Amino acid sequence: MLSDYRAHDGAIGLDWYELDPNLSFLLDRHLPDGTDRALAEAEVATYGRLVGETLAARAEETDKHGPYLSRHDRWGQERDLVVHHPTWTANKADLVRHGFVGARSANAEGIPAVVTAALAFLVCQAETAAYCALGMTAGAADMVERYAPASRRADLLEHLTSLDPERAWEGGMFLTERQGGSDVGANTTRAVRDGDEWLVSGDKHFCSNVDAEVFIVLARPEGHPPGTSGLATFIVPRHLDDGSPNGFVIQRLKPKLGTTGVPTAEVHLDNARGWLAAPEPGPDPYASEGAIHEGSGRSGTSPMAATAVLEGATVPGQGVKRMLEMVNTSRFGVALMGLGIHRRCFLEAAIYAAGRQQFGQRIDSFPMVRETLVDLLVELEAGMALTFECAAAARSSADPDQARLLRRVLVPLAKMRTTRTAVWAAGQALELLGGNGYMEDWPLARQLRDAHCHTIWEGTENIICLDVRRAMRKEGAHTALFDRLERALSTATHPLLATVAESVAGALVDARAAVEHLASAPEDMAALHARRLAELLADVAEGALLAEEAAWSLERDADARKAVVARRFADRHLSSAPLRGILSRDRTVLDLFEPIVRYGRIETDDLSFSERDWRFPA
């Protein structure tokens, strides 16, 4: 069991991996190969210290001193220079040195996607803005490796994946336009061929990491039809070979609510030179794989490719399919942002509640505070189960196509669930701190501001729910999901999991019936219920995966803690109780508070079980 949270004054300065046994549990579970697990331990342990002890403190300063645009030099010449606080550049330099983008593994196949997800999860606990910037860099590197002209590829990649902050370049993406937010097909930015290059012109409305050196830009080649199918993706450098601006003007930096460190801007492109992101003549080896090599469950050229934040990508002939593959990869990264904020909020709240005294007692001794902390952790572990399953889909699926379909539906579900739950978690944690939580010199106000961003990034919840529906209608992705959840449920045979298994099984029956009903429902009614369906699928997926984790823990360690977590989740999401639970005799949050929030072992013999009642025996 972890030491008493009262021993700490706050999360900053601590080893965040050491304080998160559930992350270690997930690595054990998803990395059965000893070599992979040893690699994960070395990498994740290093990041646990780097992020908690160093990056987190700087991130607080960055939030107070955001970037600004210096439009002209002292001679009045336009330069469009984004000026950052030193803490922002120092954090990114440390992440570059530690290989957050550049390849760090001697394994030619790359680093397991579960490991890259764990690293991103840790970084996001300190600052999701930094992950946004370097995640987009990894995505840009991935696009460059696939599609940049052979004459340019090596030089661009060397800079984008360098471990030397002095030589390292960053990547960004320009997709959204004022008139075309969710309606990407309304974009008007155009591209005209000029020999082997293209001239790109237009206005982009949300350009994150705007002071990067290489951008992935969505534009319509001259002569291509309207709508999404006529769009293509281009690789556009910020500067020409002689160092002059490449038809690139920053109109203004956006005054954002949160994610302060990463500059987001409105940009005008005027005949900016670039290259079509299209494969060389011959078959495209990535045409059906997206940014993750599904067959191995490993990330590709850069270890962050599995979690890169990169908006839509299409090339002529690939259309919406390629764009959706890249968007799905991007949404996975945003799901990890939600998880990171959620975890940070729990940790800050647990430490504060242990140290704060009111009415002569620590406030984490009060029943409702205990319930809040337990439920923060239960919802976090459910979200981690869902999101890390996305990274492990290749291992848990029968074949690469099944893995692709599973990710196709699980990733948007994870993005929807973890980002919305992060907003709830930030609000709950802020309230535990009371008035201090609302103050900007405490850590939770920023987490609440940043959390609201991620429900929007890469698609609002409405768009995500419609995409889940599209994945089922167009690709039959729900069949892969239901198969996976049935396999998870089949492992929950331990007597302590009987009620959990019953709740999950009942909800799975409901989910199948809902999919069948909506398949033949009127179009407007099917669209109306898309959110309800997505929420149901997320609940069933999290419940089934938690049950599978609990079965694994009981079998390997005879530890019932995860079974208690799964049961609490099932009671909250998959069953109903009379009088809103007021008649319940369940004492989980009171009697099992310490081993739940401090990750202690719960012996199966230490639990007594009657109907729907967990308790320690008297």
List of long-range contacts for 164-170, beta carbons under 8 Å, 24+ apart: 164/96, 164/97, 165/92, 165/93, 165/96, 165/97, 168/96, 168/101, 168/102, 169/137, 169/212, 169/213, 169/214, 170/92, 170/133, 170/134, 170/136, 170/137, 170/140, 170/209, 170/211, 170/212, 170/213, 170/214
pLDDT of residue 618: 41
pLDDT beyond 70 at 107: no
pLDDT of residue 609: 53
For 161-178, give the secondary structure using H, E and C: CCCCCCCCCCEEEECCEC
Least confidently predicted of 80-84, 227-231, 281-285, 563-567: 281-285
Please state the rounded mean pLDDT for residues 219-242.
92
For 63-88, what is each residue's pLDDT tens digit? 999 999 999 889 998 888 999 999 99
Ordered alpha helix ranges (H), 99-181: 113-126, 128-147, 150-160
pTM (predicted TM-score): 0.92
For 353-392, what is each residue's pLDDT tens digit? 999 999 999 999 999 999 999 999 999 999 999 999 999 9
Q: Are 416 and 465 in contact (CB under 8 A)?
A: yes
Range with the largest mean pLDDT of 9-13, 143-147, 186-190, 614-618: 9-13
Distances (CA, A) of 475 to 156, 399, 467, 468: 35, 16, 11, 10
For 577-602, what is each residue's pLDDT tens digit? 889 899 988 999 999 999 999 999 99
Least confidently predicted of 154-163, 282-291, 360-369, 505-514: 282-291
Residue 51 token pair: 């992020």
Gap between the Cα atoms of 332 and 460, Å rounded: 14
Q: Are 68 and 36 in contact (CB under 8 A)?
A: no
pLDDT of residue 398: 80
HSE-up of residue 545 (Cα within 13 Å, Cβ side): 29
For 110-143, what is each residue's pLDDT tens digit? 789 999 999 999 999 999 999 999 988 988 998 8
pLDDT of residue 120: 96
Name, in order, each residue with C-beta under 8 angstroms of 358's C-beta and a sequence gap of 6 or more.
none
Q: Which residue bears the tokens 């403190």?
A: 57
